[in-house]
Amino acid sequence: MSACSSVLTEGSSAAAGVAGTALAGKVTNNAAVATGIGLGVQAAARAGLQYEQRKIHGEEQDSIAKAAGELAVGAVGKWQIKHSLPIEDNLRGRVTVSRVISTEGMSCKEIVFSVDGLVDQINKPDSEFYVATICRAGQGWKWASAEPATERWGALQ
């Protein structure tokens, strides 16, 4: 999954560089200005892609939080996500609640979830496991962990 993300990031960056060069060539003959235009277009394309990847990761986190929200400690549920924008794989997995963290006006759960593979491929899971925290937000549950930059998300939260 991370390899696909790298290819997409570099591909978008290269395409933006080509587009920026074409635009710069029409605007100026000054090499410094042309370089600035090319770098600006490339940075904008990279920022746009990173924004979309953060949205997709948010959709995945919401799916896991929803599945875990109504589980009791020790119960196991299933989650899956079919992304609205197909730039990452549609994944599935399991989730369990390891403990409840509750105090006045705050209801949270520590969860352990797995990523078992692609949604459309039912095979023996080659699972990867992660720990996160979710909290009640209004009528539903939301991701509450501020994950560090892990292999799972790359440099994106």
Residues in a beta bridge with 12:
none
pLDDT of res. 54 = 75
Residues 46, 59, 97, 108, Cα dihedral to 10°: 90
CA geometry: angle 150, 135, 79, nearest 5 deg: 65
The rounded distance, in Å, linking the Cα atoms of 107 and 113 is: 19
CA 47 to chain centre: 14
The rounded distance, in Å, linking the Cα atoms of 137 and 131 is: 19
How would you write the pLDDT of the chain (157 residues) with one tens digit per residue?
444 444 455 554 555 555 555 555 566 667 666 667 667 777 776 776 677 777 777 888 999 999 999 999 999 999 998 887 777 888 889 999 999 998 888 899 999 999 888 877 776 667 889 999 999 988 899 998 876 445 555 555 4
pLDDT of res. 31 = 67
Residue with tokens 């509750």: 102
pLDDT of res. 99 = 96
- Asked if 75 and 96 count as a contact pair (C-beta separation under 8 A), the reply is yes
- Per domain, the residue ranges of the chain are 2-143
What is the H or E stretch that residue 76 is in? Answer: strand 76-80
pLDDT of res. 82 = 87
pLDDT of res. 149 = 45
pLDDT of res. 47 = 72
Q: At what angle do helices 2-27 and 31-69 cross, to 10 degrees?
A: 150
Please name the residues in contact with 10: beta carbons below 8 A apart, sequence gap of 6 or more. Answer: none
Residue whose C-alpha is closest to residue 139's, from 66, 67, 60, 78: 66
pLDDT of res. 27 = 64
